[in-house]
Chains A and B, each alone.
Chain A
Amino acid sequence: MSEVATLPSESRAAKEVQARDQVDRDILIAMKKPGPLYWVAVCACFGFFVLGMAMFGNMVDKGFGLTGVSHPYNWSIYIVDFVFWVGIAHSGTLISAILLLFRAKFRNRFNRQAEAMTCISVLCAGMYPILHLGRPWFNFFLFPYPTERQLWINFRSPLTWDVFAVSTYLIVSMIFFYVGMIPDLAIARQYATGLRKKIYGILSLGWRGTDREWKHYEKVCLFLAALAAPLVVSVHSVVSWDFAMSLLPGWHATIFAPYFVAGAIFSGCGMVLTLVIPMRKIFRLEKYITIDHFDKLCKLIMFTSMIVGYAYLMEVALANYGTNPFEKALFDHRMGGHYRIAFWMMVFCNCIAPLTLWVKKLRHSIPWLFVLSILINIGMWLERYVIVVTSLSNDFDPYNWGYYVPTIYDFGLTIMNFGFFFGMFLLFCRFLPMMAIMEVKEEVK
């Protein structure tokens, strides 16, 4: 038995409730029953994935010869794709963790999508080292356990660091994604009916928004952000050390870690634009994701683009200034040899095209931002291609040189994960709150 007293409220306060209800409805609109076009898009995306997996199956059966991967460019497409997807993952944690610590308010319009993107793209990245094994059923060799002769994996190897870094990253970014979503899942539960209400109830862990829950929730978000921020920097540094710890010209450089981290954030922000621009249009979120929010994201893109441009310039400058003839020969080859088109396209997409963002009019033009985001994605994929393939193709000994020609299998295994990525993102938009509802509501006064 309880006594309920609903106090007479002012009209301003009543409007506040209406405004918050409106935010819920506007953002949860994507969770309504979608049209057939949505399912066609999901099937098409997963169709590419299935096709790629079929190609992979055939490759396991017949051998690596089906792809262009051979001596001396043994890493080629797989590691290009691996680094590309790990890079894409980075902006998610940057936007949600580092910008949270910096109290950059604009982050709350992008953080949920970016975190979803992080989780999906780490999954995409994780597939490639396994596909690259040739005998993927032996992938457990990567994990730390002793062999029958009591020898352990080598903890001095960058590849072992990679296993630790990427799996930590996957777990921590999933935790971050999920914990951040708990209050929003409770909102979804409130609006859902039937079985869906029960599922969202379980996912929201019975969240009610009590003072005790909020107290610990705010703290856990802060601590996870504080842990995830150095993790972002460390993971791509470790990925860069996969290259930089070797002695190969073009790879053996101390600039690699900061250069890779900046590049990762740059490519990730590009991918956020690619995903958010159509999403904003389809779900009519113009009220929530405004031009001003894009403007701020563009400034981040400009900043990281300039770091990347500086790193390109510095690499070439140091190769020419230094005394290592192999390094100089390699950079001459990169800029003027077999792979020169990839190199100059990379420079155009990553350093020259983003310069247009200095013009306010272009920064505020959504169609241009979409085109630019595609250029950035292409440019950053090419960057990894240039780094991995050119250095392996032209090392110290001309007798050992080669020229990598991708086959249809290389293309198939690359497109496969684009299908997986976009398909999973479409599922995310349908089944989970696609924007941080609670954080948007905090701004409603």
Chain B
Amino acid sequence: MSREYVLDGEHEFVTKVKELTAGGVSPDRIRTFTPVPVHGLEEMLRRRPSLLKFFTLFGGLTGCATGYGFAIYTVYRWAFETSEVQWPWGLVTGGKPPLSIPAYTVIGFELTILFGALCSVLGFLLLSRMPKFMAFVPEKEYGNRFAIVVEDEERK
């Protein structure tokens, strides 16, 4: 049988969470619903830090490599694909060096940001298990109150 506590104030909520964890309730059995983020809650519930940073890092690095790689590939693609043409042969346009790193930096930079942002959002959705297809409109909402639900079993 799960227990549910609904509190009005943030202060009361924090006190109750501390009381529960001090009283021997495993933090993994506690779920909270709050109208605003409560700072320090993660530590109180001994949650692991968010893994989101790795998604952002992965996206940023992939974007950077894609941006530079793509721009460089387009000028050297004949050298890549034709065995008769020797490296470093590139398509010269406008009399500029084929490997124009400063110019390609803009492309590399923009794609770093783009892929980084997309991966961050994807990571956010995956980690926070959204969208909740089965419950877009939850059965019960606590509005502007703070709720603590102590479940029977530990959550995964």
Contacts and interface: CB of A to CB of B under 8 A. Distances in A.
Interface of A: 1-7, 9-10, 12-14, 16-17, 20-21, 24, 144, 146, 150-156, 160-161, 164-165, 168, 171-172, 175-176, 179, 189-190, 197-198, 201-202, 204-220, 223-224, 227-228, 230-231, 234, 238, 438, 441-442, 445
Given A155-B71, A219-B52, A9 B131 contact: no
A24 B145 CA distance: 13
B120 A220 contact: yes
A246 to B, nearest CB: 13
Given A3-B1, A172-B113, A216-B124, A211 B8 contact: no
Contacts of B106: 161, 164-165, 234, 238
Contact of A231 (B31, B113, B144): B113
A151 B94 CA distance: 14
Nearest to B72: A155
A17 B144 contact: yes
Given A10-B9, A206-B136, A20 B144 contact: yes
Contacts of B142: 209
Contact of B33 (A1, A154, A198, A210): A210
Given A17-B9, A179-B124, A227-B56, 18 more contacts: A7-B5, A13-B7, A17-B8, A144-B70, A150-B78, A152-B75, A155-B74, A155-B104, A161-B106, A164-B110, A171-B114, A202-B131, A205-B130, A205-B136, A210-B31, A230-B109, A230-B113, A231-B113
A17 B12 CA distance: 12
26 contacts: A1-B1, A3-B2, A5-B5, A20-B144, A146-B74, A150-B77, A154-B94, A161-B107, A161-B110, A172-B113, A179-B121, A206-B138, A208-B138, A209-B34, A210-B32, A211-B47, A218-B37, A220-B52, A220-B123, A220-B124, A223-B56, A228-B113, A228-B117, A234-B106, A234-B109, A234-B110
A17 B41 CA distance: 20
List 9 A-B pairs, minimum CB-CB distance, nearest first. A13-B9, A206-B132, A201-B136, A13-B8, A152-B74, A205-B131, A201-B137, A20-B144, A220-B124
B25 to A, nearest CB: 14
Interface string B1-29: 11111111111100010000000000000
A327 B116 CA distance: 41
Contacts of A230: 109, 113
A224 B117 contact: yes
Nearest to A212: B128
Contact of B10 (A14, A16, A209, A215): A16
Contact of A171 (B4, B35, B117): B117
B64 to A, nearest CB: 12
A52 B104 CA distance: 37
Contacts of B1: 1-3
Nearest to A235: B110
Interface residues of B, number: 75
B147 to A, nearest CB: 9
Given A171-B117, A189-B137, A206-B135, A217 B110 contact: no
B47 A215 contact: yes
B150 to A, nearest CB: 10
Nearest to A220: B124
A153 B77 CA distance: 13
A155 B75 CA distance: 9
A144 B74 CA distance: 10
B114 A217 contact: no
Contacts of A160: 107
B141 A190 contact: yes
B12 A13 contact: yes
A154 B75 CA distance: 9
B4 A213 contact: no
A227 B117 contact: yes
A227 B12 contact: no
Contacts of A215: 42, 47, 50, 128
A238 B149 CA distance: 51
A5 B3 contact: yes
Contacts of A5: 3-6
Interface string B90-124: 01011010001001101101110110111011011
A209 B136 CA distance: 13
B143 interface: yes
A4 B123 contact: no
A442 B9 contact: no
B16 A7 contact: yes
The residue in A7, A14, A441 that gathers the most chain B C-beta atoms within 10 A of its C-beta is A7
B12 A223 contact: no
B45 interface: yes
A270 to B, nearest CB: 26
A204 B125 CA distance: 12
Nearest to B114: A168
A230 B110 CA distance: 10
A155 B5 contact: no
A445 B131 CA distance: 31
A375 to B, nearest CB: 34
Contacts of B118: 171, 175
